[in-house]
Amino acid sequence: MFVRVKPAGSYRYLQIAENYREGKKVKQKVLCTLGRVDQLAESGKVDALAQSLLRFGTRLKVIDLHRQGAVRVDSDVSIGPALVFGRLWEELGIAEVIGKVLAHRHFEFAVERAVFLTVLHRLMDPGSDRAAEKWKQDFRIPGAESLELHQLYRAMGWLGQPIGLAYNHDTPELGQRTTKDRIEELLFARRRDLFSSLSVLFFDTTSIYFEGQGGESLGQWGHSKDSRPDLRQMVVGAALDEQGRPVACELLPGNATDVKLFFPAIKALQSRFQAGSFCVVADRGMISQATVQALEAPGSGIDYILGCRMRRNKEVRDEVLGADEDLVQEVCFRRQASREPLVLELREVRIEDRRYVVCFNPEQAKKDAADRQAIVESLREKLKQGDKALVGNKGYRKYLKREGDQAAFTVDEDKLQEEARYDGLWVLRTNTRLSAEEVAFQYKQLWMVEQAFRAVKSVLETRPIYHKCDDTIRGHVFCSFLALMLMKELLSRLEAAGKILEWEDIKRDLTALREVEIVMDKDRYFLRTELRGACFDALQAVGVVVPPTLRR
């Protein structure tokens, strides 16, 4: 049965009707007419009728009494985050893999639940383990209700605990094999069975600083990519596959250099994931003559696409960029942030047996020229006010010169012309048989690693780190790696469904999905709030059924 409104002339009448089936057709039958809608509403009879009907409808009665504040509320918790990311946690096999690695350990608490709590906290409201222990009180996370702070610390220590010998005795900076390495390998093996083997590996590094001394070996002074040279740090290397899915994270002392550790780290990854042959794509900070020679050694099984230092490498600067090549190929790449394609001009240059691909982006060239012009115009104005203060500014200093010890600083016109030569250009070196277009495309995909680092540092707020032991530090960073896996998977599924959503909107709307636990007449009920914004899309993307509005 249902209530409907039947118009009749200038009046509207409220009726109670029901559906019935006649053959293959569904028809409606009016049971009674209650009267004119305006008169019933004015007299309050509609409210009285609805109130009397509530006595026979438990569900509506509970909702009505809750709105009136006439029932006891035992809890009010957010259920959205655990519903969505709990499903992804299971489907990606993370829970299964952690359980497998834990098979021969006998902890007195649910380690897998402690790791999931830490990862979920990193996704939704990044902070320390101490903050996670308090944060969970406002969320329903099955199995994590009784976890305490010291157990979260123990879980972090277990993730970073050494379980074997060093990967490379000649490169001790790579450290020992740890629990988190075993988890990464099992997760990749599970995914490889479902998809494919590792054919392209994107690799890059960044630095993360500590508050304090850091760990026993990880906290060291080094070149800070966070512009915090005053703090000890560690170096984090991230490896992603061709789909942008995280494969592994390498955790190294803060004084490790990219050039020295790049090849040993890649060989370690090749061994760990039984990759055989694959192509590694890395930025220009990784390249050195020794690295290239090692990659090209017989039997290495590693092809490469590497960015080149155009200004420092004499061969690139003088011969590659100076080569007179008439054959220029124009290619278009699709861009996420714009409907207009990215247009690049490519040309191949071979110096003996070395293959280079020169890429030119006309849009970037205009931007580089405009940025430099803005700096120079500001510099000329500053020079009129005095030149001593300008030397400490890196943006200005590169365009300054002084003829003698006592002479004033002036704008270096030759330097301006030299810099203009590199506008919109980058040079790649490769030993692959891929076309120039494919080489450029794979290198452009390296932005996925940079995007991952931005997410780890900013969105997931991995830095700064307050832990003081190497084991717990590794566990802390690895939880950001697992959070990145879940984040990437959810966004990929949403994108496949045609939904491009802001991460902050997803977090806010999932957190807003709450369930209120109430007690009425000795019975216990759970009342769910309405779904809003991105919440429904996120639940649908991972295949979670929307919980009922009221359940007993």
Q: How do residues 314-330 score in pLDDT, each as one tens digit?
A: 888 888 888 776 667 88
Decide: 501 and 522 in contact? Cβ < 8 Å: no
Let me know: does 159 contact 475? Beta carbons within 8 Å: yes
Distance CA 517, CA 519 (A): 7
- Which pLDDT score is estimated for 189? 87
- Asked if residue 184 and residue 52 are part of one domain, the reply reads no
- State the pLDDT at residue 523: 73
Q: Is 387 found in the same domain as 258?
A: no
Residue 508 lies in a domain: no
The answer on 435 and 411 residing in a single domain is no
Is 532 part of a structural domain of the chain? Answer: no
Shared domain check, 435 and 392: no
For 399, counting Cβ atoms within 10 Å of its Cβ (0-12 exposed, 13-18 middle, 19+ buried), the class is buried
- The CATH code of the domain that includes 259 is 3.90.350.10
The C-alpha atoms of residue 421 and residue 321 are separated, in whole angstroms, by 9
222's tokens: 């080094």
- How many folded domains does the chain comprise? 3
Round to whole Å and give the CA distance between 319 and 473.
46
| Burial class of residue 469 in the structure, from the number of CB atoms within 10 Å of its CB (0-12 exposed, 13-18 middle, 19+ buried) | middle
Say if 282 falls within a structural domain. yes
Contacts of 422 (CB under 8 A, 6+ apart): 310, 311, 368
Asked whether residue 199 falls in the same domain as residue 287, the answer is: yes
3-state SS assignment for residue 164: strand
The answer to whether the peptide bond before residue 81 is cis (omega within 30 degrees of 0) is no
Residues 307 and 410 in one domain: no
Q: b/e map of 68-96 (b: 16 or more CB within 10 Å)?
A: eeebeeeeebbbbbbbbbbbbbeebbbbe
The answer to whether residues 387 and 414 belong to one domain is yes
Angle at 64 between CA 59 and CA 65, to 5 degrees: 100
Q: Which residues of the chain have pLDDT under 70?
A: 50-74, 165-173, 193-197, 325-327, 336-338, 386-397, 403-407, 457-461, 463-464, 520-521
Q: In what order do the strands lie in the sheet with 550-551?
A: 72-78, 514-520, 523-528, 550-551
For residue range 99-153, list pLDDT tens digits in order. Answer: 999 988 889 999 999 999 999 999 998 888 888 889 999 999 999 989 999 999 9
Is the same domain home to 371 and 304?
no
Looking at the structure, do residues 302 and 434 belong to the same domain, yes or no?
yes
Distance between CA atoms of 324 and 337, rounded to whole angstroms?
A: 35
Is residue 311 assigned to a domain? yes
CB-based contact 127:461 (threshold 8 Å): yes
Token pair of 502 as six digits: 């802001």
* Paired residues of 398 in beta bridges: none
515 belongs to a structural domain? no
Residue 180's pLDDT is 92
Residues 230 and 314 both lie in one domain:
yes
> Judging by DSSP bridges, how do beta strands 278-282 and 302-307 pair with one another?
parallel
Token reading at 395: 């943006």
Question: Does residue 274 lie within any of the structural domains?
Answer: yes
> CB neighbours of 155 closer than 8 A, spacing ≥ 6?
111, 114, 115, 118, 475
Q: Are residues 414 and 436 in the same domain?
A: no
3-state helix, strand, coil split of the chain in percent (to 5) is: 45, 25, 30
pLDDT at residue 254, rounded to an integer: 82
- Does residue 264 share a domain with residue 173? yes
Query: Quick one: tokens of 277?
Result: 């042959």
Q: Can you give the pLDDT at residue 197?
A: 63
Distance CA 279, CA 366 (A): 32
Question: In the prediction, which pLDDT does 382 show?
Answer: 75
Residue 231 lies in a domain: yes
Q: Quote the domain boundaries for residue 386.
A: 364-420
Residues sharing a CB contact under 8 Å with residue 56, sequence separation 6 or more, in sequence order: none
Domain-located, residue 326: no
Contact 252, 276 (CB under 8 A): no
